[in-house]
Amino acid sequence: MKEVGLLNRELARFISQQGHQDLLMVVDAGFAIHKDLDVIDLSLSINVPTVLQVLAVLKDYYSVEKMIIAHETKNISPTLFNSIKNSFGPNVEVELVKHHILKIKSKDVKVVIRTGDFTAYGNVILVSGAGDRWYLEKGV
């Protein structure tokens, strides 16, 4: 029985299948998820878990080089936006797009993690990338 690390077996499986520049999305409770996408539904009740709680766990198991977030998140939920923006550290690029563009881009993700978060526009696409675990003999 697994008792340490990432306990959700579906989430662990999908993370292990991610390669460089693959997309994973964490969404709020109301995001319209395309019917053909794989979904890990973690929502239990209102704000359980939140997007930020899921990102905090993912940070330990998933390397991110870029986040794609809607302009509406920044404008309507600025506290959440700043927290998402900083969740993987200061060196992660943030791309801002209109919410309808985020919805279009969501069709290209490998998996969506649905939360119970009721914060408006609490959605982010994570672009996987090489983390600080990679050995570089010479800098780029």
Q: What is the pLDDT of residues 43-73, one digit of tens each?
A: 999 999 999 999 999 999 999 999 999 999 9
* CATH number of the domain that residue 76 is part of: 3.40.1650.10
Identify whether 25 is part of a domain: yes
Identify whether 53 is part of a domain: yes
Total-model pTM: 0.94
Identify whether 68 is part of a domain: yes
How far is the C-alpha of 68 from the C-alpha of 95, rounded, in Å? 5
Tokens 């309808």 correspond to 100
Number of structural domains the chain divides into: 1
Host domain of residue 70: 20-128
Q: What are the residue numbers of the active site?
A: 20
Mark out the alpha helices in 1-132 (DSSP H runs).
9-16, 51-58, 71-76, 78-86, 99-105
How much is the average pLDDT of 3-7? 91
Identify whether 112 is part of a domain: yes
pLDDT at 140: 63
Identify whether 109 is part of a domain: yes
Identify whether 61 is part of a domain: yes
How much is the average pLDDT of 7-31? 96
